[in-house]
Structure 1
Amino acid sequence: MRAFLSVFRLRLFVGLQYRSAALAGIATQFFFGAMTIMVFEAFYANVSNEPSITLSQLTIYIWLKQAFLAFIALWIRDNELFQLITTGNIAYELCRPTGLYGLWYAKLTAQRLSNAALRCFPVLIVAFVLPQPYRLTLPPDLTSLVLFAIALLFGLMLLVSISMLLYISVFVTMSPVGSLLIFAVAGEFLAGMVIPVPLMPHWLQTVVYALPFHYTADFPFRVYSGHIPANEALIGIIVQLAWLVVLVLLGKKAMNGALRKVVVQGG
């Protein structure tokens, strides 16, 4: 555990150095956040039936998605890990006196934390002072805020465990392109990042709720807005933990199976 914490700390400090890239990302996230709210504002102005989520709650949803994009986007990747697998340099990783799954899990978690730390605060601060209907508001009570923080943290851990399956799949395919397309497109949609889950058809919501993706983004954001009450949020956090345990165990088993069959290129 001490080795994993050291790797986590070092990777976090390295990630915090990329401030220029963070500034460019902040500008992009502001643009897409404002454009998305405009689209939904027009939708709500012309809808015949009242949607199950209000425009103010949806605005919160969108700004939190932009602020914590590094936590929830499956397309964010570590190309260094892909290169280790496809070039044969994975042999150096196997010489380390630590478990490979835990080592990579710590690296990926630190990478996402550092990216979010550089970008989330400027987005949140400006979103809080924008005029309506673009303003980000505080949660309805302190309980919602605490539950949101817990759900967001577990959501990050859950997303990293899902991402680990992507890297493990490259041991078999030897190319990250297909895995990235499948995981990024399907995972982003099922997490509610394209269409918020409450606006999906009921049959599709049933499918989404049966999978772990929406617990990484949709669930914590709706806890913050109060759309999911505290009692349901507590149940959801327990489900998050259950999915996390299942995916970590599955990932470790898949990693061990892949390493038993790995062939290092070049000898």
Structure 2
Amino acid sequence: MTVDTLGSRMLGLRGLYRAGYQSVLTYRSDLMFGVIGMVIQATLTIVVWRVLYEGHDTVAGVGGSTAVAYAVLAACIQSVVMPWQFSSLPMRIMRGQIGVDMMRPRSLISQNLAQAAGTMVGRLPIGLAGLIIGLALGGVKPPRTPLDLVAWIVSMALGVANIMTVNLLVSMTAFWTLDNGGAMILYRFGSAFLSGALIPLWFMPSWLQPIISWLPFQAQIYAPLSIWFGIRRGTDLIGTLSVQLAWVLMLAMFLQFVWRRAVNKVVVLGG
């Protein structure tokens, strides 16, 4: 592939990235209320978790300060990478606009991933607002060492890739069902629960934790946060990153498989 061809492809995807980013900024009042809501949520999270831990040094072997920080950071991350908000694919399939998308020189997968990345970046102010409040109120502390910070960035990048891929997989069910609202609702609950966004996995029953640890969802939020708090060290850290990378690669291959099947299910205006 020549440099010019690669440049022209990246230019096209950049436009889709901007479309996702601008779709968030178009409704600035919604973004503003999202920031305000996150500030309130972060503040209440710190207050409530501190009250719950009052009189208890640890619960399930976890100290109160760690539990508070985890709850705040999980809410911040979830507000940015909420997987069910990324893809417009089901609506475009329902309206028949998918035909136009498939005629573009860029693959449908790359189009949707570029738009999802733009949407995520557009929502960053919401997560940053919660993080700033958490730091200001002492509910969140930075990673202990620079190595933990670097490892967290790598882990978070893998977690986002995991989220975007799974989201697109769920969105593609619309090729078979046209209306995939039920699948998205099930995915919304499942991903929030199994990723540790709602409840840290250390509070899960002992029999359930090993099962969740091998599912792709835990690699979305719990794995990066466990690195933030320095829970993963040495070979454990390398193992966590390896599992995350393995899931990204497997999900990417499965996405290609589903896409090849989905092409045969496209119906536009009865054609």
Q: What TM-score does the superposition give when structure 2 sets the normalisation length? A: 0.88
Q: Do residues 90 (structure 1) and 98 (structure 2) align?
A: yes
Range with greater deviation from structure 2 (51-60 or 137-146): 51-60
Aligned counterpart in structure 1 of residue 225 of structure 2, from 214, 221, 226: 221
Contact 2:149 2:228 in 1 (8 A): yes
Contact 1:158 1:243 in 2 (8 A): yes
Q: Do residues 112 (structure 1) and 120 (structure 2) align?
A: yes
Question: Relative to structure 1, is the Cα distance of residues 152 and 251 closer, same or farther in structure 2, using a 3 angstrom cutoff?
Answer: same
Aligned counterpart in structure 2 of residue 165 of structure 1, from 162, 169, 175: 169
Question: Relative to structure 1, is the Cα distance of residues 171 and 194 closer, same or farther in structure 2, using a 3 angstrom cutoff?
Answer: same
Aligned counterpart in structure 2 of residue 247 of structure 1, from 238, 245, 251: 251
Question: Relative to structure 1, is the Cα distance of residues 4 and 43 closer, same or farther in structure 2, using a 3 angstrom cutoff?
Answer: same
Contact 1:81 1:167 in 2 (8 A): yes
Residue deviations 1:225-258 (CA, integer Å, cap 9, x gap): 2223354222211211110011111011101101
Equivalent position of 1:55 in the other structure = 64
- Tell me, in whole angstroms, the C-alpha distance in 1 between the residues paired with 2:49 and 2:195: 18
Q: Do residues 128 (structure 1) and 139 (structure 2) align?
A: no
Contact 1:53 1:199 in 2 (8 A): no
Contact 1:143 1:230 in 2 (8 A): no
Residue 14 of structure 1: CA displacement?
Answer: 4.8
Contact 1:161 1:248 in 2 (8 A): yes
Residue 49 of structure 1: CA displacement?
Answer: 6.6
Secondary structure in 1 matching 2:207: helix
Question: Relative to structure 1, is the Cα distance of residues 256 and 71 closer, same or farther in structure 2, using a 3 angstrom cutoff?
Answer: farther
Aligned counterpart in structure 2 of residue 43 of structure 1, from 25, 42, 52: 52
Q: Do residues 203 (structure 1) and 203 (structure 2) align?
A: no
- Tell me, in whole angstroms, the C-alpha distance in 1 between the residues paired with 2:106 and 2:223: 34
- Tell me, in whole angstroms, the C-alpha distance in 1 between the residues paired with 2:81 and 2:207: 24
Contact 2:152 2:227 in 1 (8 A): yes
Equivalent position of 1:259 in the other structure = 263
Q: Do residues 67 (structure 1) and 76 (structure 2) align?
A: yes
- Tell me, in whole angstroms, the C-alpha distance in 1 between the residues paired with 2:252 and 2:187: 17
Equivalent position of 2:13 in the other structure = 4
Q: What is the identity percentage for the equivalent residue pairs of Structure 1 and Structure 2?
A: 23
Secondary structure in 1 matching 2:84: coil
Contact 1:144 1:230 in 2 (8 A): no
Moved over 6 A (4+): none
Aligned residues: 262
Q: Which runs of 5+ in 1 are unaligned?
A: none
Equivalent position of 1:81 in the other structure = 89
Residue 175 of structure 1: CA displacement?
Answer: 0.7
Contact 1:53 1:227 in 2 (8 A): no
- Tell me, in whole angstroms, the C-alpha distance in 1 between the residues paired with 2:47 and 2:60: 16
Equivalent position of 1:25 in the other structure = 34
Residue deviations 1:171-217 (CA, integer Å, cap 9, x gap): 11111211111110111100012211111111111121010111111
- Tell me, in whole angstroms, the C-alpha distance in 2 between the residues paired with 1:173 and 1:104: 19
Equivalent position of 2:155 in the other structure = 151
Q: Which runs of 5+ in 2 are unaligned?
A: 1-8
